[in-house]
Amino acid sequence: MGMTTSHFGAFFKVSPHPDQATDFGQIQTSNFLPAIEHGIEVAKARLQSIKADSSTPNFHNTVLAIESATEELEQVSGVFFNLLGALSDDEMQKLAKQISPKLAAYNSDLLLDSELFQRVKSVWDARDQVNHGSSILSGEERQLTEKVYKRFARNGALLTGEKKEQLRALDQELSKLSPEFSDNVLKATNSFEMHLTDTAELEGLPESAIDAAAEAAKERGKSGWVFTLHQPSISPFLAYSSRRELRQKMWLAYNARALETNPALVQRIVQLRHQRAQLLSYKTHAHFVLEERMAETPEQVSSFLSRLLLKVKPAAERDLAAVRTHKKDVTGDDGFMPWDYAYWSEKLKMKLHDLDDEQLRPYFKLENVIAGVFEHARRLYRIEFRDRNDIPVYHPEVKTYEVVESGTGRHIGLFYADFFPRASKRSGAWMTSFREQGLFQHIAANKVLRPHVAIVCNFTKPTATQPSLLTLDEVKTLFHEFGHALHGLLSDCRYVTLAGTNVHWDFVELPSQIMENWVTEKESLSLFAKHYQTGEVMPDELIEKIRKSSQFQAGYFALRQLNFALLDLAWHTVDPNSIQDVVSFERSATAGSALFAPIDGTSTSTAFSHIFAGGYSAGYYSYKWAEVLDADAFEYFKEKGLFDQEVARAFRDHILSRGGTEPPMQLYKKFRGREPDPDALLRRDGLI
């Protein structure tokens, strides 16, 4: 299809908006496919020019030229996939099924091109040569060369002709399955609603949950109250509803999402990944993935998870026993099912710590929490977030900010925040970029550009009677995603491939998870936890309750994460031809980390988007791995002071700004002065 200016212009014209922000108002869904097709044509023409260059291959005419060949293509596809997650509809989902295979085909064309690979290999082979006493490759040049060389070598460049075609076919099929998996989960999440019309059925629910359900009913043109499987609806329902049969209905619906549509996709995805790994001479998909992670091998991940499981499982069993006992003490009934856990856990927390989420909500007005997280950034890293109303957005609810260095006003980047659930948005919370930081040879005539970073969440919405009041968990989620955003915004690298969050996936959660630690500290809470009606700062006694309850059920929640990590590892370390049934395989894989007997008609795998539609396949362990890093790193802050400038400067200089320019353990040791202490996590959780 030919390319017209109107299709392409929305993405690449010199935008009248600050820092050439993406002009969403000019982009129509019909623009994406022709813009991506044109981006592929442009990139292919550049690759041909690289191959036609008769001069000796070097970093600039080969490695950097390959990296920059796809600038426009990556810009357009990045916007597309961001909107597919945050503002999807049937047209976008159909487009994804056309676009993903086209991108996969281009990727195969690039990585299976033996002429290009030979040029890259010759630069890599000469990496240790010196010229006039210094290496011909600088630090970042060498790191990028290694990354590009490995990308070719690990994705088929060393294969012979027939095997290259087999790999191409596998990648084509895989590219279609992940969007389909994700689409099925979104449809299953949106298709369920529990419509209540009797006030007796609302027993136990807080006013905030009832108001939100009334709003949801009104949006659907119904009377009464509607509860959904989106987190701001299901979480308070399971935690507070006194109606056990309704909790059961909600829990079962959530845990059965996409069970009808996704089992065959799960099996096919793991089969294709396994075949792909074996074609590339790796034992399993996990061996392929982990070669480029801090953990290095499935054996090391398995050992790491097993060591944690030894400490965590007994603690989780004690946690669950305490909740069960409390239920029996109150009701005289010994029966206990998964849909009882959140409810009775909340009751036990109230008994032990005189604390529940509803007491805290009035102090966590969303706007105050946003101001609080910005104040943390100012105190730690000397940056400021300024409201901008002149930057285009893709949905009216999206907020925009310009980020500048305090004092000098130097431009750091743009920040977008999209906070509330809607039918067009997938569940969960994530950080993403509309433009990465780094050198752009074509889009910006050889300039290093600043990033445009976004966080997308699904928080409690405001209602007719009150503003958005967050739970403590939602506050932690906001701080977490903001940590990822800081990693993107404070990047100070030369090359896009190495910049921002382009680091090993078991390192990328360090900047996000460390931010959660501030949320339970008095010095932090006093900055933003103010009652939405009175403006009163959260009282000391409430802060003390938060601190004392911070280890409440820590074993249970740690085991839940280990359960997910072990399930992920199991899917990607066995021969999938031995798997007869998704549900029975899942049960055997998680038997050692499960606290409840399996329940028919439920499955984790069929809605496990992190590993089947996101980038976490053979990588879900990363959350626990990075928790060790963040617990150890935060001990350094606590030792020196929560906002200590020396520690904050070291964290910015060696972690947040350096991206993937050096191996992650080297960066961590530069920050901390040593390797992380593996017991730091267990200390924080009170497990040792």
Give SS3 for 439. strand
Q: DSSP letters of 357-415?
A: HHHHGGG-BHHHHHHHHHHHHHHHH-EEEEE-SSS--SSTT-EEEEEEETTT--EEEEE
CA neighbor of 360 nearest in space, from 232, 554, 552, 530: 530
Give yes or no: 173 in active site: no
Residue 227: in which H helix or E strand, if any? Answer: strand 225-227
Catalytic one of 141, 346, 402, 481: 481
The greatest distance separating any two alpha carbons of the chain, rounded to the nearest whole angstrom, comes to 84
Say if residues 295 and 304 touch (Cβ distance below 8 Å): yes
User: CA 521, CA 544: separation in Å to the nearest integer?
Assistant: 9
User: CA 393, CA 22: separation in Å to the nearest integer?
Assistant: 8
CA neighbor of 233 nearest in space, from 198, 194, 204: 194
Task: For the chain, state the CA radius of gyration.
Answer: 25
Which tokens sit at 508?
């990328």
User: CA 434, CA 75: separation in Å to the nearest integer?
Assistant: 7
Say if residues 62 and 127 touch (Cβ distance below 8 Å): no
Alpha-carbon torsion angle 153, 155, 161, 167, nearest 10:
160
Give SS3 for 226. strand
Packed helices 114-125 and 139-153: angle between N→C axes, nearest 10 degrees: 140
Classify residue 44 by burial, with Cβ atoms within 10 Å: 0-12, 13-18, 19+.
Answer: middle
Which residues are marked as active site?
481
